[in-house]
Structure 1
Amino acid sequence: MNAGPQHFDALFAASDDPWRFRSCWYEQRKRVLTLAMLTHSRYRRAFEPGCANGELSAELALRCDSLLSWDLSERAVALARHRLTAHGHVTVEQGVVPDEWPSGRFDLIVVSEMAYYLSPADQEVLARRAADSLEYRGILLACHWRRPLEDGTTQGAPLHAALLAAGA
Protein backbone atom coordinates (compact mmCIF):
# COMPACT_ATOMS: atom_id res chain seq x y z
CA MET A 1 0.00 0.00 0.00
CA ASN A 2 1.30 3.44 -0.91
CA ALA A 3 0.22 6.33 1.28
CA GLY A 4 -1.21 8.97 -1.04
CA PRO A 5 -1.31 12.76 -0.95
CA GLN A 6 -4.52 12.77 1.11
CA HIS A 7 -2.75 10.97 3.97
CA PHE A 8 0.02 13.56 4.10
CA ASP A 9 -2.26 16.53 3.45
CA ALA A 10 -4.26 15.46 6.51
CA LEU A 11 -1.08 15.25 8.61
CA PHE A 12 0.03 18.72 7.49
CA ALA A 13 -3.48 20.14 7.97
CA ALA A 14 -3.24 19.16 11.63
CA SER A 15 0.31 20.50 12.08
CA ASP A 16 2.95 22.27 10.02
CA ASP A 17 5.48 19.91 11.65
CA PRO A 18 3.71 16.55 12.10
CA TRP A 19 6.91 14.62 12.86
CA ARG A 20 8.29 17.40 15.10
CA PHE A 21 11.37 17.94 12.90
CA ARG A 22 12.06 21.29 14.61
CA SER A 23 11.47 20.29 18.23
CA CYS A 24 12.27 16.59 18.61
CA TRP A 25 15.81 15.80 19.76
CA TYR A 26 15.83 12.58 17.71
CA GLU A 27 14.96 14.47 14.52
CA GLN A 28 17.50 17.21 15.20
CA ARG A 29 20.25 14.69 15.88
CA LYS A 30 19.29 12.60 12.85
CA ARG A 31 19.64 15.70 10.67
CA VAL A 32 23.10 16.41 12.10
CA LEU A 33 24.19 12.80 11.54
CA THR A 34 22.70 12.72 8.03
CA LEU A 35 24.65 15.82 7.05
CA ALA A 36 27.80 14.43 8.68
CA MET A 37 27.54 11.33 6.47
CA LEU A 38 27.90 13.40 3.31
CA THR A 39 31.37 12.88 1.91
CA HIS A 40 31.80 16.30 0.27
CA SER A 41 31.44 19.81 1.61
CA ARG A 42 29.66 20.94 -1.57
CA TYR A 43 27.40 19.37 -4.22
CA ARG A 44 26.62 20.72 -7.66
CA ARG A 45 23.05 19.39 -8.09
CA ALA A 46 21.03 17.58 -5.43
CA PHE A 47 17.58 16.00 -5.23
CA GLU A 48 15.56 15.38 -2.08
CA PRO A 49 12.28 13.52 -2.64
CA GLY A 50 9.87 13.62 0.28
CA CYS A 51 11.12 16.95 1.65
CA ALA A 52 8.10 17.46 3.94
CA ASN A 53 8.22 20.96 5.45
CA GLY A 54 11.79 21.59 4.29
CA GLU A 55 13.76 21.27 7.52
CA LEU A 56 16.43 18.97 6.04
CA SER A 57 16.25 20.89 2.75
CA ALA A 58 17.28 24.08 4.56
CA GLU A 59 20.44 22.35 5.78
CA LEU A 60 21.15 20.75 2.41
CA ALA A 61 20.74 24.15 0.74
CA LEU A 62 23.86 25.36 2.54
CA ARG A 63 25.91 22.64 0.80
CA CYS A 64 24.43 22.60 -2.70
CA ASP A 65 24.73 24.86 -5.72
CA SER A 66 21.30 23.66 -6.85
CA LEU A 67 18.75 21.70 -4.82
CA LEU A 68 15.48 20.23 -6.04
CA SER A 69 13.12 19.30 -3.20
CA TRP A 70 9.90 17.41 -3.86
CA ASP A 71 6.94 16.32 -1.81
CA LEU A 72 3.61 14.80 -2.80
CA SER A 73 1.63 16.91 -0.32
CA GLU A 74 0.53 20.30 -1.60
CA ARG A 75 0.59 21.69 1.96
CA ALA A 76 4.10 20.34 2.61
CA VAL A 77 5.32 21.95 -0.62
CA ALA A 78 3.86 25.30 0.45
CA LEU A 79 5.54 25.02 3.86
CA ALA A 80 8.88 24.01 2.33
CA ARG A 81 8.73 26.87 -0.18
CA HIS A 82 8.14 29.31 2.66
CA ARG A 83 10.94 27.76 4.74
CA LEU A 84 13.37 27.99 1.81
CA THR A 85 12.44 31.45 0.49
CA ALA A 86 15.90 32.86 1.25
CA HIS A 87 17.60 30.19 -0.87
CA GLY A 88 17.20 31.22 -4.51
CA HIS A 89 19.08 28.14 -5.71
CA VAL A 90 16.45 25.79 -4.21
CA THR A 91 13.39 24.68 -6.16
CA VAL A 92 10.49 23.07 -4.30
CA GLU A 93 7.94 21.20 -6.40
CA GLN A 94 5.09 18.78 -5.92
CA GLY A 95 6.08 15.39 -7.28
CA VAL A 96 5.15 11.78 -6.65
CA VAL A 97 8.05 9.34 -6.58
CA PRO A 98 8.64 6.86 -8.05
CA ASP A 99 5.87 7.46 -10.63
CA GLU A 100 7.47 10.79 -11.44
CA TRP A 101 11.18 11.53 -11.45
CA PRO A 102 13.04 14.70 -12.35
CA SER A 103 15.12 14.89 -15.48
CA GLY A 104 18.85 15.25 -15.45
CA ARG A 105 21.58 13.85 -13.27
CA PHE A 106 22.47 14.52 -9.66
CA ASP A 107 25.67 14.24 -7.70
CA LEU A 108 23.60 13.93 -4.48
CA ILE A 109 20.25 12.27 -3.82
CA VAL A 110 18.93 12.17 -0.26
CA VAL A 111 16.08 9.75 0.46
CA SER A 112 15.22 10.33 4.10
CA GLU A 113 12.33 8.80 6.00
CA MET A 114 9.95 8.62 3.04
CA ALA A 115 10.29 5.23 1.42
CA TYR A 116 8.31 3.50 4.19
CA TYR A 117 5.22 4.78 2.49
CA LEU A 118 5.97 2.99 -0.78
CA SER A 119 5.16 -0.58 -1.67
CA PRO A 120 8.17 -2.92 -2.06
CA ALA A 121 7.70 -2.79 -5.85
CA ASP A 122 7.74 1.02 -5.80
CA GLN A 123 10.79 0.97 -3.56
CA GLU A 124 12.57 -1.05 -6.25
CA VAL A 125 11.49 1.47 -8.92
CA LEU A 126 12.75 4.32 -6.73
CA ALA A 127 16.07 2.52 -6.31
CA ARG A 128 16.49 2.02 -10.07
CA ARG A 129 15.56 5.61 -10.87
CA ALA A 130 17.94 6.93 -8.23
CA ALA A 131 20.79 4.74 -9.50
CA ASP A 132 20.09 5.76 -13.11
CA SER A 133 20.10 9.48 -12.31
CA LEU A 134 23.26 9.56 -10.21
CA GLU A 135 26.31 11.08 -11.80
CA TYR A 136 29.49 9.04 -11.86
CA ARG A 137 30.69 8.94 -8.25
CA GLY A 138 27.44 10.57 -7.15
CA ILE A 139 26.24 10.00 -3.60
CA LEU A 140 22.92 8.50 -2.61
CA LEU A 141 22.20 8.85 1.09
CA ALA A 142 19.24 6.89 2.45
CA CYS A 143 18.12 7.25 6.06
CA HIS A 144 15.18 5.29 7.47
CA TRP A 145 14.00 4.09 10.87
CA ARG A 146 14.48 0.34 11.03
CA ARG A 147 11.65 -0.60 13.38
CA PRO A 148 7.91 -0.92 12.61
CA LEU A 149 6.03 2.34 12.11
CA GLU A 150 2.43 3.16 12.92
CA ASP A 151 1.65 4.79 9.59
CA GLY A 152 4.34 3.32 7.35
CA THR A 153 3.80 0.45 5.02
CA THR A 154 7.23 -1.17 5.16
CA GLN A 155 10.47 -0.81 7.08
CA GLY A 156 13.53 0.92 5.74
CA ALA A 157 15.68 -2.20 5.35
CA PRO A 158 13.98 -3.46 2.13
CA LEU A 159 14.56 -0.09 0.44
CA HIS A 160 18.22 -0.08 1.44
CA ALA A 161 18.57 -3.60 0.00
CA ALA A 162 16.89 -2.46 -3.22
CA LEU A 163 19.26 0.52 -3.44
CA LEU A 164 22.26 -1.73 -3.09
CA ALA A 165 20.91 -4.16 -5.67
CA ALA A 166 20.30 -1.28 -8.12
CA GLY A 167 23.86 -0.09 -7.69
CA ALA A 168 22.89 3.19 -6.06
Structure 2
Amino acid sequence: MSVEDRYFDGLYAGNDDPWAFRQRWYEQRKRAITLAALPRPHYRAIFEPGCANGELSAELARRCDRLLCCDTAAAAVKLAQTRLSLFDHAHVEQSRLPQDWPQEKFDLIVFSEIGYYLDSADLTAVIRHMENSLTADGQLLACHWRPPIEGCPLNARQVHDRIHEVLGLPRLVLHQEADFILEIWSREPRSVAALEGLR
Protein backbone atom coordinates (compact mmCIF):
# COMPACT_ATOMS: atom_id res chain seq x y z
CA MET A 1 0.00 0.00 0.00
CA SER A 2 1.21 3.50 -0.84
CA VAL A 3 1.95 5.80 2.09
CA GLU A 4 -1.26 7.53 3.21
CA ASP A 5 -1.93 11.28 3.20
CA ARG A 6 -2.06 11.44 6.98
CA TYR A 7 1.67 10.64 7.12
CA PHE A 8 2.51 13.76 5.11
CA ASP A 9 -0.06 15.88 6.93
CA GLY A 10 1.65 14.87 10.18
CA LEU A 11 5.05 15.93 8.89
CA TYR A 12 3.78 19.44 8.20
CA ALA A 13 1.98 19.82 11.53
CA GLY A 14 3.75 22.83 13.02
CA ASN A 15 6.72 22.54 10.64
CA ASP A 16 7.04 24.41 7.34
CA ASP A 17 10.24 22.57 6.33
CA PRO A 18 10.05 18.98 7.66
CA TRP A 19 12.99 17.77 5.54
CA ALA A 20 15.11 20.88 6.30
CA PHE A 21 15.41 21.73 2.60
CA ARG A 22 16.54 25.25 3.42
CA GLN A 23 19.03 24.47 6.21
CA ARG A 24 20.83 21.25 5.29
CA TRP A 25 23.84 21.39 3.00
CA TYR A 26 22.92 17.92 1.73
CA GLU A 27 19.65 19.31 0.36
CA GLN A 28 21.22 22.47 -1.02
CA ARG A 29 23.92 20.47 -2.78
CA LYS A 30 21.45 17.94 -4.17
CA ARG A 31 19.36 20.77 -5.62
CA ALA A 32 22.46 22.21 -7.28
CA ILE A 33 23.37 18.81 -8.75
CA THR A 34 19.80 18.30 -9.92
CA LEU A 35 19.75 21.63 -11.73
CA ALA A 36 23.23 21.13 -13.20
CA ALA A 37 22.26 17.68 -14.49
CA LEU A 38 19.44 19.06 -16.66
CA PRO A 39 20.54 18.69 -20.29
CA ARG A 40 18.79 21.90 -21.38
CA PRO A 41 19.08 25.44 -20.05
CA HIS A 42 15.36 26.09 -20.57
CA TYR A 43 12.15 24.09 -20.92
CA ARG A 44 8.73 24.96 -22.27
CA ALA A 45 6.72 23.17 -19.56
CA ILE A 46 7.86 21.40 -16.38
CA PHE A 47 5.79 19.23 -14.06
CA GLU A 48 7.03 18.57 -10.53
CA PRO A 49 4.84 16.11 -8.61
CA GLY A 50 5.49 15.97 -4.88
CA CYS A 51 6.83 19.52 -4.72
CA ALA A 52 6.75 19.75 -0.89
CA ASN A 53 7.29 23.36 0.23
CA GLY A 54 8.58 24.49 -3.16
CA GLU A 55 12.31 24.92 -2.62
CA LEU A 56 13.32 23.04 -5.79
CA SER A 57 10.23 24.40 -7.54
CA ALA A 58 11.49 27.97 -7.22
CA GLU A 59 14.70 27.01 -9.01
CA LEU A 60 12.83 25.10 -11.71
CA ALA A 61 10.61 28.15 -12.28
CA ARG A 62 13.67 30.02 -13.50
CA ARG A 63 14.28 27.35 -16.14
CA CYS A 64 10.89 27.19 -17.90
CA ASP A 65 7.97 29.04 -19.52
CA ARG A 66 5.37 27.14 -17.45
CA LEU A 67 5.69 25.21 -14.20
CA LEU A 68 3.02 22.96 -12.71
CA CYS A 69 3.62 21.54 -9.24
CA CYS A 70 1.50 19.36 -7.00
CA ASP A 71 1.54 17.78 -3.59
CA THR A 72 -0.86 15.61 -1.63
CA ALA A 73 -0.52 17.63 1.61
CA ALA A 74 -2.61 20.79 1.84
CA ALA A 75 0.00 22.50 4.01
CA ALA A 76 2.73 21.80 1.46
CA VAL A 77 0.58 23.22 -1.34
CA LYS A 78 0.06 26.48 0.58
CA LEU A 79 3.78 26.76 1.34
CA ALA A 80 4.72 26.09 -2.29
CA GLN A 81 2.17 28.64 -3.50
CA THR A 82 3.75 31.24 -1.25
CA ARG A 83 7.28 30.26 -2.35
CA LEU A 84 6.28 30.58 -6.02
CA SER A 85 4.12 33.69 -5.69
CA LEU A 86 6.67 35.80 -7.60
CA PHE A 87 6.43 33.56 -10.67
CA ASP A 88 3.30 34.23 -12.73
CA HIS A 89 3.94 31.16 -14.86
CA ALA A 90 4.00 28.74 -11.88
CA HIS A 91 0.93 26.95 -10.56
CA VAL A 92 0.54 24.61 -7.57
CA GLU A 93 -2.30 22.10 -7.11
CA GLN A 94 -3.27 19.66 -4.39
CA SER A 95 -3.48 16.18 -5.88
CA ARG A 96 -2.88 12.53 -5.02
CA LEU A 97 -0.94 10.29 -7.38
CA PRO A 98 -1.54 8.33 -9.49
CA GLN A 99 -5.22 9.21 -9.82
CA ASP A 100 -4.97 13.01 -10.04
CA TRP A 101 -2.62 13.25 -13.01
CA PRO A 102 -2.70 16.40 -15.20
CA GLN A 103 -3.83 16.21 -18.82
CA GLU A 104 -1.06 18.45 -20.15
CA LYS A 105 2.16 17.58 -21.97
CA PHE A 106 5.56 18.43 -20.51
CA ASP A 107 9.07 18.47 -21.91
CA LEU A 108 10.42 17.86 -18.39
CA ILE A 109 8.98 15.92 -15.45
CA VAL A 110 10.93 16.09 -12.19
CA PHE A 111 10.13 13.02 -10.09
CA SER A 112 12.18 13.65 -6.97
CA GLU A 113 12.03 11.87 -3.61
CA ILE A 114 8.51 10.48 -3.95
CA GLY A 115 8.72 7.18 -5.82
CA TYR A 116 9.36 5.05 -2.75
CA TYR A 117 6.21 6.34 -1.04
CA LEU A 118 4.19 4.53 -3.73
CA ASP A 119 3.54 0.82 -3.81
CA SER A 120 4.49 -1.19 -6.88
CA ALA A 121 1.13 -0.85 -8.64
CA ASP A 122 0.84 2.91 -8.02
CA LEU A 123 4.44 3.48 -9.12
CA THR A 124 3.84 1.63 -12.38
CA ALA A 125 0.68 3.67 -12.96
CA VAL A 126 2.62 6.90 -12.35
CA ILE A 127 5.35 5.85 -14.78
CA ARG A 128 2.70 5.16 -17.43
CA HIS A 129 1.25 8.61 -16.81
CA MET A 130 4.71 10.16 -17.14
CA GLU A 131 5.33 8.28 -20.37
CA ASN A 132 2.04 9.55 -21.83
CA SER A 133 2.68 13.12 -20.62
CA LEU A 134 6.11 13.59 -22.17
CA THR A 135 6.35 15.61 -25.37
CA ALA A 136 8.13 14.24 -28.45
CA ASP A 137 11.45 15.49 -27.03
CA GLY A 138 10.46 15.16 -23.36
CA GLN A 139 12.72 14.21 -20.47
CA LEU A 140 12.20 12.62 -17.08
CA LEU A 141 14.49 13.33 -14.13
CA ALA A 142 14.25 11.01 -11.14
CA CYS A 143 16.20 11.51 -7.91
CA HIS A 144 15.85 9.46 -4.71
CA TRP A 145 17.49 8.94 -1.31
CA ARG A 146 19.25 5.56 -1.35
CA PRO A 147 19.23 4.39 2.30
CA PRO A 148 16.07 2.54 3.41
CA ILE A 149 13.16 4.63 4.70
CA GLU A 150 11.02 3.02 7.37
CA GLY A 151 7.42 2.56 6.27
CA CYS A 152 8.07 3.03 2.54
CA PRO A 153 6.97 0.20 0.22
CA LEU A 154 10.01 0.58 -2.08
CA ASN A 155 13.61 1.77 -2.05
CA ALA A 156 15.44 4.04 -4.50
CA ARG A 157 16.95 1.21 -6.52
CA GLN A 158 13.59 -0.47 -6.97
CA VAL A 159 12.03 2.81 -8.06
CA HIS A 160 14.72 3.58 -10.63
CA ASP A 161 14.85 0.03 -11.96
CA ARG A 162 11.08 0.10 -12.47
CA ILE A 163 11.26 3.46 -14.26
CA HIS A 164 13.98 2.18 -16.58
CA GLU A 165 12.06 -1.01 -17.30
CA VAL A 166 8.62 0.50 -17.86
CA LEU A 167 9.60 3.79 -19.52
CA GLY A 168 11.93 2.19 -22.03
CA LEU A 169 13.69 5.44 -23.00
CA PRO A 170 17.41 6.15 -23.46
CA ARG A 171 19.16 7.24 -20.28
CA LEU A 172 21.16 10.46 -20.67
CA VAL A 173 22.39 10.94 -17.11
CA LEU A 174 23.34 8.61 -14.26
CA HIS A 175 24.70 10.12 -11.05
CA GLN A 176 25.01 7.88 -8.01
CA GLU A 177 26.40 8.52 -4.54
CA ALA A 178 26.10 6.76 -1.20
CA ASP A 179 23.18 9.06 -0.37
CA PHE A 180 21.17 9.40 -3.57
CA ILE A 181 20.76 8.36 -7.18
CA LEU A 182 19.79 10.72 -10.00
CA GLU A 183 18.93 9.65 -13.53
CA ILE A 184 17.52 11.35 -16.61
CA TRP A 185 15.75 9.59 -19.47
CA SER A 186 14.92 11.37 -22.72
CA ARG A 187 12.98 10.91 -25.95
CA GLU A 188 15.81 12.93 -27.53
CA PRO A 189 18.74 10.49 -27.17
CA ARG A 190 21.56 12.82 -28.23
CA SER A 191 23.93 14.16 -25.59
CA VAL A 192 24.44 17.85 -24.82
CA ALA A 193 27.71 17.86 -26.76
CA ALA A 194 26.14 16.04 -29.71
CA LEU A 195 23.32 18.55 -29.89
CA GLU A 196 25.92 21.33 -30.05
CA GLY A 197 27.74 19.55 -32.89
CA LEU A 198 30.81 18.65 -30.83
CA ARG A 199 30.68 14.91 -31.60
Work out whether the TM-score is over 0.5. yes
The alignment yields a C-alpha RMSD, in angstroms, of 1.1
| Ranges of 4+ aligned residues in structure 1 off by more than 2 Å | 150-153
- The worse-fitting range, judged by mean Cα deviation, of 144-153 and 61-70 is 144-153
Measured after TM superposition, the shift of residue 138 of structure 1 is 0.8
Partner of 2:99: 99
> What is the letter of the counterpart of residue 13 of structure 2?
A
Matches of 1:110 and 1:152, distance apart in 2: 20
Matches of 2:82 and 2:38, distance apart in 1: 25
Partner of 1:24: 24
Partner of 2:111: 111
Number of residue pairs aligned between Structure 1 and Structure 2: 168
Partner of 2:168: 167
Matches of 1:158 and 1:137, distance apart in 2: 26
> What is the letter of the counterpart of residue 14 of structure 1?
G
Question: Which whole-Å deviations, capped at 9, do the CAs of 1:86-105 have from their partners, x for residues lacking one?
Answer: 01100000011112210121
- The structure whose RCO (Cα within 8 Å, separation 6+) is larger is 1
Matches of 1:151 and 1:22, distance apart in 2: 25
Q: Kindly report which structure 2 residues correspond to 1:140-151, keeping only aligned pairs within 5 A, or say none.
A: 140-151=140-151
Please say if residues 120 and 158 of structure 1, whose CA atoms lie closer than 8 Å, have aligned partners that are also in contact. no
Matches of 1:137 and 1:38, distance apart in 2: 14
Q: Kindly report which structure 2 residues correspond to 1:67-82, keeping only aligned pairs within 5 A, or say none.
A: 67-82=67-82
Question: Which whole-Å deviations, capped at 9, do the CAs of 1:42-68 have from their partners, x for residues lacking one?
Answer: 000110000000000000000010000
Measured after TM superposition, the shift of residue 151 of structure 1 is 4.3
Structure with more of its chain in helix, by fraction: 1
Unaligned runs of 5+ in 2: 170-199
- The worse-fitting range, judged by mean Cα deviation, of 80-89 and 155-164 is 155-164
Matches of 1:94 and 1:101, distance apart in 2: 11
Matches of 2:16 and 2:96, distance apart in 1: 20
Matches of 1:148 and 1:77, distance apart in 2: 26
Matches of 2:40 and 2:158, distance apart in 1: 27
- The worse-fitting range, judged by mean Cα deviation, of 7-16 and 49-58 is 7-16
Q: Percent identity?
A: 51
Matches of 1:149 and 1:140, distance apart in 2: 23
The 3-state SS of whatever aligns with 1:82 is helix
Measured after TM superposition, the shift of residue 14 of structure 1 is 3.1
Measured after TM superposition, the shift of residue 131 of structure 1 is 1.0
Structure 1 length normalisation: TM-score? 0.96
Pair member with larger Rg: 2
Please say if residues 131 and 163 of structure 1, whose CA atoms lie closer than 8 Å, have aligned partners that are also in contact. no
